[in-house]
Amino acid sequence: MSPADPLRKALAGFMLGAAGMFATMYSTQAILPELSRDFGVSPARAGLSISVVVIAVAVGGFAWGPVSDRIGRPRAIRMASLLLVPPTIGVALAPGFEALLVFRTLQGLCMPGLLAVGAPYIVEVFVPRIGARAMGYYVSALVLGGLVGRLGVALATAVVGWRVAIGLLAILPLVAAIVMRRGLPEPELAPRGGGWKRHLTNVRLLGVSVGGAALFFTFVGSFTFITYRLEEPPFSFSLAVASLVFLLWLTGLLGPLAGRVADRVGWRRLALGTVALSATGLLLTLPDVLPLLVLGLACIAGAMFTGYTATQLGVSEVARVDRGAATALYFGIYYAGGALGAYLPGLAWEEWGWGGVATTGFVALGLAAAGIASVRPEALDEACVDSTQRLAPPA
């Protein structure tokens, strides 16, 4: 067995955990029309089944990030994967829409143990060994999990109903927790210094976070409400056919390539490029022309996943200490943007149709560009670097 084999196995186990988590996160997104019919709720209210999850992730990250700094990232990752199983079963058994929202909230509170903790774990364990493409592999795992949670649930719903389809997702985090019982390497002791106070005043970190959140808002809004548009004339597709649009998530498999590009041009330039690509995609979705609509959504999806890779690398650059807390702050802002993206475009859809959804996206992308552009590459936080040098363990 080569020396690289243990690292490969550890990476594969962690990727399985990340994919299992992400499969549950947006498991209701592709079946919102079905939930609207089953529970008798409006599109905007059905979108709350996504909003409550992302809000819970934003809140939960503030606990999981610092906890992982103290008890170790591998332990936090394994614990979160196991805790995700019971509320996933609860969603499938929910007797009413309010109960469904409660279980979805509980799911969201568990997820940061894999998401907000996973990003710094990648930076600390795998990026030093195989480069920025490790973050791309992580994003690719999230993409595959998202496809299972969206497309898989939608197609299974057409055969066995949405309750069975969502209930089956509980298998993924359970298997992941078992696989990750051994083999996740411990990172070197992460430097600490300042905690929340430092990060709340780190304008560079806030700029990266706003940029990521605004990109995420546009992505969530577009893909949450596109199924309603595709079910209406002139398209008039069934839910199963409309859900095939989530195959566009396969653009996220370019994550490793995005990591390599970031190594060459820098995360900031790459992130700004993704904002422009997402705006172009929104423009392409405006006409009722299916090929243009598909191309536009592909641009939005590709921009989102590439932008996620770029901004995660940005966080690792602008926050050299207490990375668990820094990543938790990033995800708090990021998922607050996603929560709004699952609700506000729904109101715009009900009032103005797809043009309203696109308009909310353009506004968000303007904020994304401003946030990322505000992170001046030459303004590296010297105090943070000094602190890292003082607190880093000896070689």
Whether the pLDDT of residue 294 is over 80: the answer is yes
pTM value is: 0.74
Closest CA to 53 of 138, 127, 146: 146
**pLDDT score of 197:** 61
Residues 81/180, Cβ–Cβ less than 8 Å: yes
Report the C-alpha gap between 366 and 362 in whole angstroms.
6
Instruction: Give 190's pLDDT tier (boundaries 50, 70, 90).
Output: low
**pLDDT score of 222:** 94
Instruction: Give 140's pLDDT tier (boundaries 50, 70, 90).
Output: confident
What mean pLDDT value characterizes the chain? 84
Report the C-alpha gap between 330 and 288 in whole angstroms.
36
For range 378-389, the mean pLDDT? 40
**pLDDT score of 1:** 38
Whether the pLDDT of residue 344 is over 70: the answer is yes
Instruction: Give 2's pLDDT tier (boundaries 50, 70, 90).
Output: very low
The backbone region for 349, taken as left when phi is positive above 0, alpha when psi lies in -120 to 50, beta otherwise, is alpha
**pLDDT score of 113:** 87
Lowest mean pLDDT among 53-62, 123-132, 159-168, 297-306: 123-132
Q: Could you read off the pLDDT of 363-372 as tens digits, one per residue?
A: 999 999 999 9
Whether the pLDDT of residue 150 is over 50: the answer is yes
Taking the CA atoms of 169, 312, 388 and 205 in sequence, report the sign of the dihedral they define. negative
Share of the chain above pLDDT 90, in %: 38
Report the C-alpha gap between 81 and 35 in whole angstroms.
26
**pLDDT score of 135:** 77
The highest-level CATH class for domain 8-391 is mainly alpha
Whether the pLDDT of residue 250 is over 90: the answer is no
What's the length of the chain? 395
The interaxial angle of helices 255-265 and 267-285, nearest 10 deg, is 130
CA 331-332-338 angle, 5° bins: 80
Structural domain spans, the chain = 8-391
Mapping DSSP to helix (H, G, I), strand (E, B) and coil, where does residue 320 land? coil
CA 50-54-59 angle, 5° bins: 145
